[in-house]
Amino acid sequence: MNELTGKSAMVTGAGRGIGRAIAIALGKAGCAVTLTARTEAELHNVQQEILAAGGKAVAHRADLTRDDDLHPLIEACGPVDFLINNAGWGKRASVVRSRVDDWDQTFRLNLRAPMILAKELLPAMIKKGQGAVINIGSVSGKSGEANGAAYSASKFGLIGFTQSLYEEVREHGIKVAVILPGFVDTPMIPPVKHLDRGKMIQADDVAEAVLFILNAPATACPVEITIRPQRSPYK
Ligand SMILES: NC(=O)c1ccc[n+]([C@@H]2O[C@H](COP(=O)([O-])OP(=O)(O)OC[C@H]3O[C@@H](n4cnc5c(N)ncnc54)[C@H](OP(=O)(O)O)[C@@H]3O)[C@@H](O)[C@H]2O)c1
């Protein structure tokens, strides 16, 4: 038994990478987890892994850029104690060469969906006087770089959203936090010659930070955690 036993959580982007690691860590800690992403087979695998370890998990397919999918997801999952906004995407391209459609997808997934999920799932947390919203940002939310304008702008926005939301709900006992990882060894990072994957952060390391926030004393909220690789992955 620990602080998380018997609690419930929604994890977005739970099919692979960081979201998978967070979902499995929460399942092992005794949370009933709602897993969501677009790829059903990946969600199914994560669900089976949690169930096999004696945990509780349900999977609900949704494209978080679509309102048609977002609202049924919210209805299906019902009230949760913890919302982990992890799903994210961005296409690398210069501002001049980017497609505006890609920018829209990035903003809808990385910023708008977390805001809508928080808006809809917070009232139950407020009623209970406890809960948590944890957003997975990025070090790209602290400094921009060439060919990553929309991704970086969305992650800057996610930090602003986190800070504003924290000020709104802190008196209700709800933790609000953003985690800012550097390179994490997940499918999001394509194999490239100049990066040593062995030196990247592991998805489990980010999951550890989520547990750290959720297990923090009721008197303390770790609002922002930056995790950088110990050694530089650049060759
Ligand atoms: N990897 C890194 O180096 C790194 C560093 C800093 C921050 N981050 C952030 O960490 C988070 C997770 O990244 P990751 O590396 O684990 O990425 P990943 O391996 O590409 O996994 C992304 C997850 O999000 C889901 N997803 C993507 N588009 C979606 C959509 N439209 N609707 C619903 N779900 C969608 C994917 O599933 P489907 O494709 O099946 O939908 C997948 O489960 C992201 O917010 C990312 O920005 C990553």
pLDDT digit string, tens, across residues 65-109: 999 999 999 999 999 999 999 999 999 999 999 999 999 999 999
pLDDT for 10 equals 98
pLDDT for 3 equals 80
How far is 131 from 99, CA to CA, in rounded Å? 38
Q: Give domain status of residue 234, yes or no.
A: no
Q: How far is the CA of 89 from the centre of ligand 1 (A)?
A: 6
| Whether the CB of 87 sits within 6 Å of ligand 1 | yes
| Whether the CB of 77 sits within 6 Å of ligand 1 | no
Q: Give domain status of residue 3, yes or no.
A: no
Domain count, the chain: 1
Q: How far is the CA of 112 from the centre of ligand 1 (A)?
A: 15
Ligand 1 atom closest to 188 (CA): 20
| Residue owning tokens 């800070």 | 163
The answer to whether the predicted template modeling score (pTM) of the entire model surpasses 0.85 is yes
Q: Which amino acid appears at position 172 of this protein? A: H
Percentage of the chain modeled with pLDDT above 90: 99
In the structure, what pLDDT confidence band is assigned to residue 128 with cuts at 50, 70 and 90?
very high
Residues identified as active-site: 151
Q: Could you list the residue range(s) of the whole structural domain that residue 172 is in?
A: 8-227
CATH code (residue 221): 3.40.50.720
Q: Give domain status of residue 1, yes or no.
A: no
Q: Give domain status of residue 232, yes or no.
A: no
Q: How far is the CA of 117 from the centre of ligand 1 (A)?
A: 16
Which residue puts its alpha carbon closest to atom 44 of ligand 1?
88
| Whether the CB of 106 sits within 6 Å of ligand 1 | no
The edge-to-edge listing of strands for the beta sheet with 56-61 is: 56-61, 32-37, 8-12, 82-85, 131-136, 174-181, 224-227
Q: Which of 18, 46, 74, 135 to mutate to test the pocket of ligand 1 (most atoms within 8 A of CB)?
A: 18
Q: Give domain status of residue 129, yes or no.
A: yes
Mean pLDDT of the chain: 97
Q: Give domain status of residue 62, yes or no.
A: yes
Percentage of the chain modeled with pLDDT above 70: 99
Beta-strand relationship, 82-85 and 8-12: parallel
* Each residue's pLDDT tens digit, 114-124: 999 999 999 99
| Whether the CB of 73 sits within 6 Å of ligand 1 | no
How many other C-beta atoms are found inside a 10 Å radius of the C-beta of residue 58?
17
Q: Give domain status of residue 2, yes or no.
A: no
Q: Give domain status of residue 112, yes or no.
A: yes
Q: How far is the CA of 156 from the centre of ligand 1 (A)?
A: 17
How far is 130 from 83, CA to CA, in rounded Å? 12
